[in-house]
Structure 1
């Protein structure tokens, strides 16, 4: 693609990066064929190719409008287009640059500013989110659809501790995060118990918090960078003490932490540390893959008759490029899982998207559930709290994290043995 970006932008690193990304695009349209929002609206400007043109025009000097902002806002940042693109266009990074510039030039209405600020503040602080979530559960039937979709029915809640029962010589860090410990404390608790059986202590740094994804995707760039610096500071003493990895049980957090090195590359105080943190970041499926033989020793595989479907989050399959590991780990223990039709498509959760774009999010959720439930599964598993809560809001079929399922089955087999 030929470009003619403003000289003032080409003088910046972001401008030069955007120019390089734009020049890789060959207008082929493969991305449009796999874009969830384009499939819903049928509007070229709601697909990656159309959004690329919009961003290009802005970077070349055209004044953006509220319509421009709306088309960019409708993007889920699922990165399916990046998996599809034969030219290696880093669309998500171009979108970040474009959204930030459009936000500066178009602005937001006071109501939108308030909503976004509330999400940034309320979701990233456990001490605020926990009481708000409990209150929301009580008022759930009265809330707008977008908020209801973020609240899991109380019947699916269980309790658990994310603290290791024993001390081991081997240790790894576990990101507690902000939303997941409130909505689904059983996820990290299951990870802790399972790694404990494998001789690894999962340690939670008390001062670590939100990974930065919420601020980042709401264009609060400096706040996102500060979240990242805060986590690095919290983790660093434990990294220096020998922590082998930083384990992610939420794929949405994992894709963000893997980007710390990139996001903080211009910060001389944090650039080197951020690169090391990104290198240490591992999804829980990657960690357990290294313990395949030990897991079999814990409990030999036993045939299981439950019909289970796996919804691979976009942040796992497109963002982190991790595919097949969860299915193999579960199959190794007799838990046969299947993928639904169009398993590459987003479920519509996408962090705060299901609140800010509730209509599109609900349409995508219903389409995903229709595909998932076509074979009448007994259970649906996923790898990200946002997807789990979003899908559960539209079905009576149990939806849970796959690590909870695996740990429960292994514990039951061990007890029976």
Structure 2
């Protein structure tokens, strides 16, 4: 793609990076075939290629974002399916992230929309506050007809019961059982610690059972992905900085082999810390953290799993977009589940997003609901006993549309190797 950025604009590192990404695009349109929003709307501006044109025109002319550009960028899921299919290796993720930051800085949103986005960025990243907010969900559902339509998805997706805080999520060290094979830090996260405490508990049991010492580092927490995808750069970088500093202290004091993440959306972000902080004094530490980041399925794939009696369940494995497209991890979760004795089913149209995408199902509920309906229909056509996924957002989104139990991949691996039966199956 030919570009015409001014030299003054290219002096900004983010603008220079976006210009490089834009020039890599050859307009081939392969991305339109795998874009979920284009699949639903048929609008070229709801495809990666269309959004690239909008972003180019906005950035190249150094103008504030307008309503049309904002609308179509907002409707992007950041599922990154386009990056998997692109023959020119266009790094769309970094381009759309820059566009969102520019929109956040230059576009005046309606007051209600701006307030909702600020509320999500503030509450979801603070587990204690989020937990208190979730306890209001039954009241919200009871009076849903009286609420503004924009707020209804917040209550509809909230769980029926809110788990108590788990002891696993406080800073501590979990010793390995038997001979220690490695030492890792676990990102316990933010929303997950309020919505489903079983995932981190299962992760700790699985890893320690197989000789892995697990550290929950003091000061680590939210990865910053949620505000990052809302264009709130200062907030996302502040959260990421805390993690980088916390894990660096742990590396320097006790040593770490890996940073383990069991929410794939967080994993994609942590693996991008090196890029995010490339022009920061923390650049070296951030790059080191990114290089050490691993999804829990990558670690499990390298362990000699202590399998007992095979559960033998038919498992529909939903490959989260942030895992298959963002991190290019497709084989490891399926291989680990199969070795643990499960009959793993490939879901038709598995490359298409379920509609979760962080806060997307709260901000773009109509598109998100349509994608969930499509995803659930494909899953139910396989008649599985259980659905497994490596991302809490996907679990929540899919679970709201089906009666088939949904569990995290690590819960099944924990169960198959000596842990308790997953709570959604018990």
TM-score normalised by structure 2 residue count:
0.90
SS of aligned partner of 1:17? helix
Tell me the residue number matched to 1:388: 395
| Residues 63/198 of structure 1: CA separation in 2 closer, same or farther (3 Å cut) | closer
Q: 2:366 aligns with which of 355, 359, 369?
A: 359
| Residues 123/413 of structure 1: CA separation in 2 closer, same or farther (3 Å cut) | closer
Contact (CA 8 Å) 1:260, 1:277: kept in 2 or not?
A: yes
Tell me the residue number matched to 1:274: 286
Tell me the residue number matched to 2:324: 317
SS of aligned partner of 2:376? helix
Distance 1:165 1:19 in 2: 46
Q: Which moved more, 1:84-93 or 1:231-240?
A: 231-240
Q: 1:254 aligns with which of 267, 275, 282?
A: 267
Distance 1:154 1:337 in 2: 30
Note the 1:70-85 alignment, pairs <5 A: 70-85=71-86
Tell me the residue number matched to 1:345: 352
Q: Which moved more, 1:96-105 or 1:340-349?
A: 96-105
The Cα shift of 1:64 comes to 3.8
Distance 1:412 1:177 in 2: 22
Contact (CA 8 Å) 2:130, 2:191: kept in 1 or not?
A: yes
CA RMSD of aligned residues (A): 2.1
How big is each residue's C-alpha offset from its partner over 1:112-145, in whole Å with a ceiling of 9 and x where there is no partner?
A: 2211111111011112111112222554454454
Gaps spanning 5+ residues in structure 2: where?
Answer: 145-150, 422-426
Q: Which moved more, 1:110-119 or 1:381-390?
A: 110-119
Q: Which moved more, 1:5-14 or 1:206-215?
A: 5-14
SS of aligned partner of 2:213? strand
Q: Which moved more, 1:9-18 or 1:40-49?
A: 9-18
Tell me the residue number matched to 1:265: 278
How big is each residue's C-alpha offset from its partner over 1:238-259, in whole Å with a ceiling of 9 and x where there is no partner?
A: 1122121110010011000001
Distance 1:138 1:191 in 2: 33
Contact (CA 8 Å) 1:211, 1:256: kept in 2 or not?
A: yes
Distance 2:130 2:91 in 1: 33
Gaps spanning 5+ residues in structure 1: where?
Answer: none
Distance 2:155 2:320 in 1: 20
| Residues 114/304 of structure 1: CA separation in 2 closer, same or farther (3 Å cut) | same
Distance 1:313 1:103 in 2: 27
How big is each residue's C-alpha offset from its partner over 1:167-189, in whole Å with a ceiling of 9 and x where there is no partner?
A: 66542100111000111100010
Distance 1:413 1:58 in 2: 53
Matched residues, number:
407
| Residues 38/336 of structure 1: CA separation in 2 closer, same or farther (3 Å cut) | same
TM-score normalised by structure 1 residue count:
0.92
Note the 1:300-315 alignment, pairs <5 A: 300=308, 302-315=309-322
The Cα shift of 1:358 comes to 0.9
SS of aligned partner of 1:395? coil
| Residues 263/177 of structure 1: CA separation in 2 closer, same or farther (3 Å cut) | same
Note the 1:14-53 alignment, pairs <5 A: 14-53=14-53
Tell me the residue number matched to 1:208: 220
Tell me the residue number matched to 2:424: none
Distance 2:142 2:401 in 1: 14
Distance 2:228 2:138 in 1: 27
Tell me the residue number matched to 2:200: 188
SS of aligned partner of 1:203? strand
